[in-house]
């Protein structure tokens, strides 16, 4: 954001009037209305609350503005992660749309509703790159790719904040968790991370930088220790990279108690030590923990911290409050009834759910004919209003959810839908309930032309601290699918989940599979429209889908290694251990390739890529190259293809990934229609961090693909030459 001389002058003026205690108070964020909150506010002892809304928020703000000495308003934050009352698909699902407009609009809607509830600030977007689906928080981010995650994250920032943060319907965004949190060892939340700085800079930092370039107002420091240094005490990342290199002038908040958690990390001896480390690292506001309020004064007395550091932190906090216009408009004057679940909010959520669904298998079973006479709807997630909302939903209500069962009944007429859930919930092994259990689901299927099975993960299985060691569909759901298959009727699976799953056994049991993530409030109508062909699937996988959990981490932008397995042959080596054909990077018990590559997704049509051409074979440093492909809809229906651009730097001073995503476009074509799709790449887009941590584009040969996914496509070659 552009610095404003007026705001800076007002901050100086205010700082000059503040006592030390009032400054320290600004640096504390409290969760909920704790005992004695009023008195703490009155003496200027707190700057922010999270998880306070409505009338309570209004009253506490009144005390801050009218009864504290300087009248500095409080800022209210909350986790508005994928919608406030109108819930959008989980962020990973939004990333699957490969459509930043979807993320921007979802954030705009969430901001309107959250602002109407009196909130000023959300702790979103999460842009932690996740290469391990066991980690439950993979649901909250953009997946495994830094470019896609950065595009989606930046769009969310724009949606929440708009052009003017002080607009009553906008709220401040917070990019998190800085940094490396998604690399948690073993996919276990809060675990340690080791990331060499070259990898940090090429993979983990770019999405944060994209959000900062989009003007994000705040940033959250993470829980994890990164290369031995907890992220909330890490001056290298928070001061040198974020402030000095990137020039971030927003506010840094810790994660929940993460300053004091430097004690269990074994990095701080006690709360005082932790507070010193947090301030020294550049964490402006402490979330929940009381290390700052209890110890900063003593740390100043002892000369372990300087007043300039405290002033800098308070300056960042006041700047945020001024940018939000809180001094001019401390109270919420919006009418929530006009905002919550507004018709245009619901239609935006439905469109987002529609674009986030990924069609993974289709033997011609989908779309269903609208004249189909009877459909069996089974599975524990067909009518699970809370579960379809997904993780991190504090303000969405299950009773607002439009479930797939309700939507299919509405679309087809209740008499054409036979419902038998089969299992009471997604993790259940109780095959006999409710109402006849799996046997009843089989009966229903036998009476129908087709069965649609809504299976997957309930919402509880992803999100913070909700990690898994297995990537299957839990409980007896596989049994249910296998029993459905045995009926001989066509089986369609709609899988809801908060992560990528190992879908092999599911795929074997079904004729078609639509992966719907946790699709949110309007998931039902979106899915019904897709199943019935009123809409055409266009989502793509933002994460690689493994065949087995043992393949994890498995991601498309991996290094080639010395002995890559041949791309085109399924490799499970046979013969003696000395058979040289087996000496490649693979497993003995599972095909080394993913089940589905990053970027994969089918449509109800088919597309042909042809005639890939480049504007030049020799690209001079500092110039751009254009790649053009002819795209033809060779099928019988209008559909949207997500056309992807990848490159590979063949030889580097450090080894380079086998592919890197550099662009994507959603292209809608009618049956038989043809168009040219064009991408432009500058040599700066080919840069990476070398061993000296310089961002460089090295001359040499490159491959370029225009492709439907990371595992296929048309390839061309070009060479980058020095000028
Ligand atoms: C999470 C953050 C969240 C914060 C506030 C923490 O446990 O890690 O992502 O914003 O709580 O609720």
pLDDT band at 462, cuts 50/70/90? very high
pLDDT band at 28, cuts 50/70/90? very high
The CB density around residue 260, as the number of other CB atoms within 10 Å, is 22
For residue 691, being part of any structural domain is answered with yes
For residue 8, being part of any structural domain is answered with no
Q: Provide mean pLDDT across the span 591-618.
A: 97
- In tens, the pLDDT along 255-302 reads 999 999 999 999 999 999 999 999 999 999 999 999 999 999 999 999
- In tens, the pLDDT along 380-407 reads 999 999 999 999 999 999 999 999 999 9
pLDDT band at 565, cuts 50/70/90? confident
pLDDT band at 581, cuts 50/70/90? low
**pLDDT for 270:** 98
Q: Which of 219, 223, 231, 256 to mutate to test the pocket of ligand 1 (most atoms within 8 A of CB)?
A: 256
CA nearest to 610, candidates 523, 534, 716, 464: 716
Q: Which of 255, 260, 462 to mutate to test the pocket of ligand 1 (most atoms within 8 A of CB)?
A: 255
Q: Which two tokens stand for residue 195?
A: 């990331």
CA 546 to ligand 1 centroid distance, Å: 28
Q: Which of 51, 119, 123 to mutate to test the pocket of ligand 1 (most atoms within 8 A of CB)?
A: 123
**pLDDT for 160:** 98
Q: Are residues 356 and 501 in the same domain?
A: yes
Alpha helices in 513-625 (DSSP H): 523-531
For residue 684, being part of any structural domain is answered with yes
CA 352 to ligand 1 centroid distance, Å: 24
pLDDT band at 198, cuts 50/70/90? very high
- Choose one of 531, 553, 573: the last residue of a domain: 531
pLDDT of 541 > 70? The answer is yes
pLDDT band at 116, cuts 50/70/90? very high
Q: Provide mean pLDDT across the span 190-201.
A: 98
> What is the DSSP code string of 313-371?
HHHHHHHHHHHTTTTT--S----HHHHTT-HHHHHHHHHHHHHH-EEEEESS--SPPTT
Q: What are phi and psi of 157, to 5 degrees?
A: -55, -45
pLDDT band at 586, cuts 50/70/90? confident
- In tens, the pLDDT along 413-442 reads 999 999 999 999 999 999 988 778 999 999
pLDDT band at 582, cuts 50/70/90? low
- Percent of the chain whose predicted confidence (pLDDT) is above 90: 94
- Choose one of 499, 531, 563: the last residue of a domain: 531
Q: Provide mean pLDDT across the span 75-83.
A: 98
Q: What are phi and psi of 418, to 5 degrees?
A: -110, 120
CA 320 to ligand 1 centroid distance, Å: 20
**pLDDT for 588:** 82
Nearest CA to ligand 1 atom 12: 79
pLDDT of 694 > 90? The answer is yes
pLDDT of 574 > 70? The answer is no
Q: Are residues 381 and 513 in the same domain?
A: yes
For residue 157, being part of any structural domain is answered with no
pLDDT of 713 > 60? The answer is yes
Check if the beta carbon of residue 310 is closer than 8 Å to that of residue 6.
no
pLDDT of 579 > 70? The answer is no
**pLDDT for 433:** 80
pLDDT of 353 > 60? The answer is yes
pLDDT of 107 > 90? The answer is yes
**pLDDT for 407:** 98
Q: Provide mean pLDDT across the span 693-697.
A: 98
Q: Provide mean pLDDT across the span 223-230.
A: 98
For ligand 1, whether the C-beta of 79 sits within 6 Å is yes
**pLDDT for 578:** 59
**pLDDT for 584:** 84
**Strand arrangement of the beta sheet that strand 700-707 belongs to:** 618-620, 714-721, 700-707, 639-649, 660-669
pLDDT of 710 > 90? The answer is yes
pLDDT of 223 > 60? The answer is yes
CA 692 to ligand 1 centroid distance, Å: 35
pLDDT band at 5, cuts 50/70/90? confident
- What is the CATH classification number for the domain harbouring 460? 3.40.50.1700
> What is the DSSP code string of 661-685?
EEEEEEEEE-TT-EEEEEEEEEGGG
Q: Are residues 393 and 478 in the same domain?
A: yes
Set 128, 145, 255, 383: catalytic member: 255
For ligand 1, whether the C-beta of 189 sits within 6 Å is no
Distances (CA, A) of 710 to 221, 603, 661, 717: 32, 17, 8, 17
Nearest CA to ligand 1 atom 7: 256
- In tens, the pLDDT along 658-687 reads 999 999 999 999 999 999 999 999 999 999
589 is known as an active-site residue: no
Q: Which domain holds residue 438?
A: 351-531
**pLDDT, the chain, mean:** 96
**pLDDT for 589:** 85
Integer Cα distance of 239 and 309 in angstroms: 12
**pLDDT for 435:** 75
Using DSSP's 3-state secondary structure scheme, residue 484 falls into helix
Q: Which atom of ligand 1 is nearest to the CA of 123?
A: 10
Q: Provide mean pLDDT across the span 581-605.
A: 90
**pLDDT for 1:** 61
For residue 73, being part of any structural domain is answered with no
Q: Which of 232, 464, 465 to mutate to test the pocket of ligand 1 (most atoms within 8 A of CB)?
A: 464
pLDDT of 368 > 90? The answer is yes
CA 256 to ligand 1 centroid distance, Å: 6
**pLDDT for 580:** 52
Residues 6+ apart with CB under 8 A from 232: 221, 222, 223, 254, 255, 258, 259, 261, 262, 277, 278, 281, 283
For ligand 1, whether the C-beta of 256 sits within 6 Å is yes
Q: Which atom of ligand 1 is nearest to the CA of 77?
A: 5
For residue 638, being part of any structural domain is answered with yes
CA 278 to ligand 1 centroid distance, Å: 17
**pLDDT for 567:** 73
Q: Provide mean pLDDT across the span 309-329.
A: 98
**pLDDT for 570:** 64
For ligand 1, whether the C-beta of 176 sits within 6 Å is yes
For residue 537, being part of any structural domain is answered with no
Nearest CA to ligand 1 atom 6: 256
Q: Which two tokens stand for residue 603?
A: 């449509």
Check if the beta carbon of residue 17 is closer than 8 Å to that of residue 72.
no
- What is the CATH classification number for the domain harbouring 619? 2.60.40.10
**pLDDT for 696:** 98
For ligand 1, whether the C-beta of 123 sits within 6 Å is yes
DSSP for residue 87: B
pLDDT of 235 > 70? The answer is yes
CA 52 to ligand 1 centroid distance, Å: 15
Q: Are residues 511 and 391 in the same domain?
A: yes
DSSP for residue 118: T
User: What predicted TM-score, i.e. pTM, was given to this entire model?
Assistant: 0.98
pLDDT band at 137, cuts 50/70/90? very high
CA 245 to ligand 1 centroid distance, Å: 26
DSSP for residue 564: B
For residue 462, being part of any structural domain is answered with yes
For ligand 1, whether the C-beta of 464 sits within 6 Å is yes
The total number of structural domains that make up the chain = 2
Q: Which atom of ligand 1 is nearest to the CA of 222?
A: 8
For ligand 1, whether the C-beta of 698 sits within 6 Å is no
For ligand 1, whether the C-beta of 255 sits within 6 Å is yes
- Choose one of 480, 510, 531: the last residue of a domain: 531
Integer Cα distance of 136 and 465 in angstroms: 6
Q: What are phi and psi of 274, to 5 degrees?
A: -60, -45
């Amino acid at each position: 954001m552009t610095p404003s001389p007026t705001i800076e002058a007002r901050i100086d003026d205010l700082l000059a009037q503040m006592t030390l205690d009032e400054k320290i108070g600004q640096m504390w964020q409290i969760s909920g209305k704790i005992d004695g909150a009023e008195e703490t506010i009155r003496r200027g002892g707190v700057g922010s609350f999270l998880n306070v809304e409505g009338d309570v928020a209004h009253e506490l703000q009144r005390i801050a503005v009218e009864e504290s000495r300087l009248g500095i308003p409080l800022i209210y934050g909350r986790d508005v992660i994928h919608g406030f009352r109108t819930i959008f698909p989980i962020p990973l699902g939004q990333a699957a749309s490969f459509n930043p407009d979807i993320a921007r609009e979802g954030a705009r809607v969430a901001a309107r509703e959250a602002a109407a509830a009196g909130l000023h600030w959300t702790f979103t977007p999460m842009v932690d790159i996740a290469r391990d689906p066991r980690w439950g928080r993979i649901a909250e981010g953009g997946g495994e790719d830094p470019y896609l995650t950065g595009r989606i994250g930046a769009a969310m920032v724009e949606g929440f904040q708009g052009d003017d943060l002080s607009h009553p319907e906008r709220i401040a965004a917070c990019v998190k968790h800085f940094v490396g949190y998604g690399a948690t060892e073993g996919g276990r939340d809060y675990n340690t991370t080791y990331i060499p700085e070259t990898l940090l800079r090429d993979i983990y930092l770019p999405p944060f930088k994209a959000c900062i370039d989009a003007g994000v107002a705040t940033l959250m420091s993470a829980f994890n220790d990164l290369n031995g240094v907890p992220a909330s005490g890490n001056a290298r990342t928070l001061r040198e990279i974020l402030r000095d290199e990137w020039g971030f002038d927003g506010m840094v908040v810790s994660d929940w108690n993460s300053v004091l958690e430097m004690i269990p990390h074994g990095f701080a001896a006690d709360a005082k030590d932790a507070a010193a480390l947090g301030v020294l690292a550049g964490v402006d506001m402490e979330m929940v923990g009381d290390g700052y309020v209890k110890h900063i004064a003593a740390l100043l007395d002892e000369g372990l911290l300087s007043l300039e550091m405290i002033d800098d932190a308070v300056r960042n906090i006041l700047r945020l409050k001024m940018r939000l216009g809180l001094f001019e408009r401390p109270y919420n004057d919006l009418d929530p009834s006009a905002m919550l679940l507004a018709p245009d909010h619901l239609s935006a959520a439905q469109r987002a759910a529609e674009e986030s669904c990924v069609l993974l298998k289709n033997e011609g079973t989908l779309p269903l004919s609208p004249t189909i006479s009877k459909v069996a709807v089974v599975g524990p997630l067909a009518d699970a209003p809370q579960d379809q909302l997904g993780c991190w939903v504090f303000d969405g209500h299950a009773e607002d959810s439009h479930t797939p069962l309700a939507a299919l009944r509405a679309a087809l007429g209740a008499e054409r839908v036979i419902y038998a859930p089969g299992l009471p919930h997604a993790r259940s092994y109780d095959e006999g309930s409710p109402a006849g259990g799996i046997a009843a689901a089989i009966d229903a299927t036998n009476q129908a032309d087709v069965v649609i099975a809504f299976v997957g993960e309930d919402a509880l299985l992803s999100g913070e601290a909700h990690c898994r060691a297995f990537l299957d569909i839990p409980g007896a759901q596989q049994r249910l699918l296998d029993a459905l298959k045995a009926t001989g009727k066509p089986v369609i699976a709609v899988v809801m989940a908060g992560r990528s799953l190992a879908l092999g056994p599911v795929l074997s049991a079904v004729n078609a599979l639509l992966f719907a993530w946790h699709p949110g409030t309007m998931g039902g109508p979106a899915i019904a429209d897709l199943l019935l062909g009123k809409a055409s699937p266009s989502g793509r996988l933002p994460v690689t889908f493994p065949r087995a959990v043992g393949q994890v981490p498995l991601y498309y932008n991996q290094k080639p290694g010395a002995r890559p397995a041949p791309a085109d042959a399924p490799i499970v080596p046979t013969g003696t251990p000395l058979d040289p054909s087996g000496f490649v990077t693979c497993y003995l018990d599972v095909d080394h390739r993913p089940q589905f590559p990053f970027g994969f997704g089918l449509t109800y049509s088919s597309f042909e890529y042809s005639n890939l051409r480049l504007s030049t074979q020799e690209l001079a440093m500092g110039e751009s190259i254009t790649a053009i492909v002819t795209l033809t809809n060779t099928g019988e229906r209008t559909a949207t293809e997500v056309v992807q651009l990848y490159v590979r730097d063949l030889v580097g001073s450090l080894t380079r990934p086998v592919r890197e995503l550099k662009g994507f476009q959603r292209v809608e074509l009618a049956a038989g229609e043809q168009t040219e799709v064009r991408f432009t790449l500058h040599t700066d887009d080919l840069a990476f961090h070398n061993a000296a941590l310089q961002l460089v584009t090295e001359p040499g040969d490159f491959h370029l693909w225009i492709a439907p996914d990371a595992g296929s496509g048309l390839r061309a070659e070009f060479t980058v030459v020095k000028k």
